């Protein structure tokens, strides 16, 4: 599947445990990828960070897409099936994200809190129901997923490996989900610096379901990234 990064370098991610990197080819096989089932938390390129949004599609998805497109930025959308209404009722926004060149990825069908205690069969159902929706809406299945609550234990790695998914977590959490102000969220990114302690770029944890994130935080982060040469124009 077509995989784009943020701002707009092709995003390659390193493993939490090793410095393995996802190949930068724009098209790859889901099932044949040796990295399926592995957790990635960082970008392979220092000095860049990945804009990655959870929990949509929602009321602000199209507005966020418009903002990103106007800035020439690319992002990853980790969509759910039912969290903020049925994905089929927001199909236009999903199509807009994909057709604009953003990465469309999975965040499970129902966003369960108990992901790491579910059986392989239950996890497979969560993923395949959303896969079916993606195929019906945009004609493709994702290669990447972000586990709800970043839960990567239990049967999650086995299920994702079986299904051909790479698991994405984060290296900088905006804490927008925790009621942090826009200024405080922005400072978390500034404090993280241009790269992780082991020299890689950052992957963000953001939520497109908060108006303040979409309308205030994202423009600030894009402006800051461009001013500090953390992205391509």
CATH class of the domain whose range is 13-227 = alpha beta
Total-model pTM: 0.85
What's the DSSP call for residue 25? -
Cβ atoms of 217 and 224 within 8 Å: the answer is no
Among 4-18, 122-136, 141-155, 214-228, the minimum mean pLDDT is found in: 4-18
- In whole angstroms, give the CA distance from residue 190 to residue 34: 34
| Catalytic residue list | 54, 207
CA nearest 2: which of 81, 93, 74, 107? Answer: 74
What's the DSSP call for residue 211? H
* Strand 166-168, strand 144-145: pairing: parallel
Delimit the domains of the chain by residue range: 13-227
* Each residue's pLDDT tens digit, 86-144: 999 999 999 999 999 999 999 999 999 999 999 999 999 999 999 999 999 999 999 99
Could you tell me the pLDDT band of residue 16, with boundaries at 50, 70 and 90?
Answer: very low
Query: Which residue stretches of 21-111 are H helix?
Result: 61-71, 91-99
Please state, for a pLDDT cut of 90, what percent of the chain lies above it. 70
User: Looking at per-residue confidence, does 14 or 201 come out higher?
Assistant: 201
């Amino acid at each position: 599947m077509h995989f784009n990064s943020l701002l707009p370098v092709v995003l390659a991610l390193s493993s939490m445990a090793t410095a393995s990197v996802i190949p930068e080819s724009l098209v790859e096989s889901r099932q044949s990828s040796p990295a399926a089932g592995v957790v990635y938390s960082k970008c392979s390129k220092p000095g860049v960070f990945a804009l990655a949004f959870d929990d949509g599609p929602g009321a602000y998805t199209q507005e966020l897409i418009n903002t990103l497109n106007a800035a020439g930025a690319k992002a990853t959308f980790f969509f759910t099936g039912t969290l903020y209404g049925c994905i089929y009722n927001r199909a236009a926004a999903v199509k807009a994200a994909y057709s604009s060149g953003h990465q469309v990825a999975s965040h499970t069908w129902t966003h369960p809190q108990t992901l790491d205690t579910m059986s392989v069969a239950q996890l497979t159902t969560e993923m395949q129901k959303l896969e079916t929706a993606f195929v019906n809406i945009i004609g493709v299945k994702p290669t990447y997923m972000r586990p709800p609550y970043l839960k990567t234990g239990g049967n999650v790695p086995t299920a994702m490996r079986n299904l051909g998914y790479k698991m994405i977590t984060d290296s900088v959490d905006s804490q927008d989900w925790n009621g942090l102000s826009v200024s405080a969220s922005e400072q978390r990114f500034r404090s993280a610096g241009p790269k992780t302690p082991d020299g890689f770029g950052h992957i963000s944890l953001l939520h497109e379901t908060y108006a303040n994130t979409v309308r205030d935080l994202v423009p600030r982060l894009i402006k800051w990234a461009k001013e500090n040469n953390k992205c391509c124009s």
